[in-house]
Amino acid sequence: MREFDEKELNKLSIDELTILFMDNINEQNLKMIKGIEFLVQEKFDKFKENLNYVIDTNTEVQIKKKFESKIFKSKLMFSKADRLKLFNKINNIKDIGEYLANRMLLYKVVFPDEKFKLQIQLILKSLRKISNDLSNAVKLIGTDLSKAHDICEEIKEERRIMRKEEWKLLNRLYNYDMDYLSRTFLYLKNLIEDIMMLADHMKDFSEYIQFLAIKYLIFD
């Protein structure tokens, strides 16, 4: 993600800054997901590179600062608090992503078998879809809350599918025939739980977007 200069950011509205921020965070999410896929493929250098990107990138800080100064002085009337909350929820994704990336970089795990790899990839596929959908939903808040609401419904459905896979995976992890290194067990357990945490936050976020749709849309 490229750096932004102050003038460029100044020109953007609250809505545009939110979309830019979401794009930025989504890009980092996708990098992280790709990084985990590299881990599954045991391409550790690329894994490290991708996850470090998530940790080191701070273009979102620029956008965040600009957003905060703008919303404070903004003449938005009644959606100000909701817009701020929305932005903070996007920011929380970044926080969770960073936490996840840091934890994952502590160790380079080798997955126990191919089925395990396949299951993780299924979960990551869902996570990627959720992240992209969420980004699209945020983009639509300013222009079409109804569509944003529908996309969020899809996110919730995807999260349901994903959760089933996660429990299957955890079940396999705890009941695996062979004993593996305690580090491997702990790492994999944390990896699955952290992905769950990130996905749950995204689901909560999508529910918040649905709440906004219900709050602001008027039906005749």
Partner 1 sequence: MAEELTFILVIVLVAMAVGLAFSIGANDETLASLVGAGVLKFKLALILGGFAIGLGMILFSGGFVPETVGKNLLGEGLGEKYTNYMLLTVLISSIIWLVVGSFAGIPLSSTHSLIGSIVGVIIVYSIFQGGVDLNTAFNYEKLRDVVLSWFISPISGLLITYVLFKFSAKFLLSRLRGLNQIEKSEKNFKWLLLIAVLFAEIWVGANSGEALAILLGLRENYSITGGQYITFAIICGIFSFLGIYFAARYVIRNLASHMIDTRPSEGFIIQMSSAIILMIATLFALPISHSHVIVFCIIGMNIAQRKEVDYKGLGKMGIFWILTFPIAGILAGFIYFGLNMFGFT
Residues contributing to the site for partner 1 (CB under 8 A): 15, 76-79, 81, 83, 140-146, 212, 216-220
Q: Which is nearer to partner 1, 110 or 217 (CB)?
A: 217
Q: Which is nearer to partner 1, 88 or 171 (CB)?
A: 88
Closest approach of Cβ 13 to partner 1, in Å?
8
Closest approach of Cβ 210 to partner 1, in Å?
13
Closest approach of Cβ 144 to partner 1, in Å?
5
Q: Which is nearer to partner 1, 144 or 200 (CB)?
A: 144
Output the DSSP codes for the chain: -----HHHHHTS-HHHHHHHHHHHHHHHHHHHHHHHHHHHTT-HHHHHHHHHHHHH--HHHHHHHHHHHHHHH----SSHHHHHHHHHHHHHHHHHHHHHHHHHTT-----S-HHHHHHHHHHHHHHHHHHHHHHHHHHHHTT-HHHHHHHHHHHHHHHHHHHHHHHHHHHHHHT-SS---HHHHHHHHHHHHHHHHHHHHHHHHHHHHHHHHHHH----
Q: Which is nearer to partner 1, 167 or 216 (CB)?
A: 216
Closest approach of Cβ 205 to partner 1, in Å?
16
